[in-house]
Structures are given as structure tokens and as C-alpha cells.
Chains A and B, each alone.
Chain A
Amino acid sequence: DADVTQTPRNRITKTGKRIMLECSQTKGHDRMYWYRQDPGLGLRLIYYSFDVKDINKGEISDGYSVSRQAQAKFSLSLESAIPNQTALYFCATSDIAGVGGSGEQFFGPGTRLTVL
């Protein structure tokens, strides 16, 4: 079984709809991240969480919200989807670099979201 799973894998929705993307991990990591990837723009950080009670905005958090329901679960919501949120979304986890860990990130397979 995959260490980091994302659901759904693909989603097509309409402008104005509320969408939730879910992420689960079995790595036992405290740190979880949500990224979006657009052609030519690389991976951009939306939100990150260092533990269940610690959630932080990334560089492009406007229009998104998150919920860390448990150490293993981190969900991303688009309250009112718009077409420019069409992208590939990745969830990732990591341990803490420099504290007995490598800081390596492990990614889920991605969710391809299309907003019409």
C-alpha cells in the first residue's frame, strides 16, 4: 500500500462549487503539505502543518483552506472553486530535517482538478 494517498485522483467541477481534496499518510510524520503544480511554474506551497495544532499558510493560500483532522490526515478545501484553480495538487509529508531526520518529502500521487 502507498504511504501517502490522495482522493480523488481526478475531479471535474464547476465554478462556485465547494471541493475537498483528502490526503492520508502512514509514514507517521508530523509534517504535511499541500502543493499545486502548474505547467512552467513548478510546485507552489499552499498550506503546511507541523502537527495537528499547527497550520500555516504557504505562498498561495488565498482561495484555499485546510483541516488537519489527525496526524495522518490533512485535507484541502476550495470553498468556491474558480477556473484558475485548475491544476495538479500534491500532498506531501516529511520528518524534520536535522532532528534525526532527513527532511525528505514523500508525495501522494496527485489530484488532477479541473474547474469549468
Chain B
Amino acid sequence: RKEVEQDPGPFNVPEGATVAFNCTYSNSASQSFFWYRQDCRKEPKLLMSVYSSGNEDGRFTAQLNRASQYISLLIRDSKLSDSATYLCVVNNRGGSYIPTFGRGTSLIVHP
């Protein structure tokens, strides 16, 4: 089992739709979690950190479920500009916090 797994998609949704992605991780000692966004051929950029209590930033909501070892990203009222690849990142403990990336989930928002 890969350490961090994501459904590669693509998720093809109309503008205005709500879409959710999940990401599962295998290391129960993982300590910090992030969602990054990557546009085609560009560098990844932080979308949001994921906190234990869940957090929201505008149309984006991130959740952490430690018991089931997954994190989720919910996008409401999708925009064309949300089309991108969304990367899940998990940092493992041991004092090292080595980031491990999922392969990414592709989102295509169409008119």
C-alpha cells in the first residue's frame, strides 16, 4: 500500500458544483497534513493546511479523520479557475517531518 493515496480522477464537474476529494495515509504517526494545488507544468503551491478540528477558507473546507486515516478537501461553488491538480501531503513524525506527496487528483471544471 502506498503511503499516501489519492484517486487520480479526473473529476469533471460543471461550474457551481460541489466536489470532494479524499486522501488516505498509511502511517498512523503522521503529524501534519496539507493540500497543495498544482497548475499544469507549474510548481505546487499551498492551498491549505489541515487541522485536527477541520478548517475552512472561503469555498474550501479541509477535514482530518485520524481514526480512518484520511483527509478530505471539499470545494463548493466550483469555478473554472479551480481546474488544477490537488496534491495531498502528509508529514511523518520522528522529529523529521518528511513530507510525502500523493500522486494528485485532477479536477476539471467546465462551463
Contact = CB atoms under 8 A, between A and B. Distances in A.
Interface residues of B, number: 24
A104 B48 CA distance: 9
B32 A43 contact: no
Contacts, number: 55
Nearest to B49: A102
A36 to B, nearest CB: 11
B68 to A, nearest CB: 22
Interface in A84-116: 88, 90, 94, 96-98, 102-105, 107-110, 112
A103 B43 contact: no
Sort chain A's interface into a size bin.
20 to 34
A110 B42 contact: yes
Nearest to B45: A107
A112 B100 CA distance: 22
A45 interface: yes
Contacts of A90: 43-44
A43 B43 contact: no
Contacts of A44: 101
Nearest to A104: B46
Contact of A98 (B32, B43, B100): B32
B42 A98 contact: no
Contacts of B91: 97, 103
Given A41-B103, A45-B99, 4 more contacts: A35-B101, A42-B102, A102-B49, A107-B44
23 contacts: A41-B103, A43-B87, A44-B101, A45-B98, A48-B98, A50-B96, A88-B41, A90-B44, A97-B31, A97-B97, A98-B31, A98-B97, A102-B49, A103-B32, A103-B99, A104-B49, A105-B44, A105-B46, A105-B99, A107-B43, A108-B43, A109-B42, A109-B43
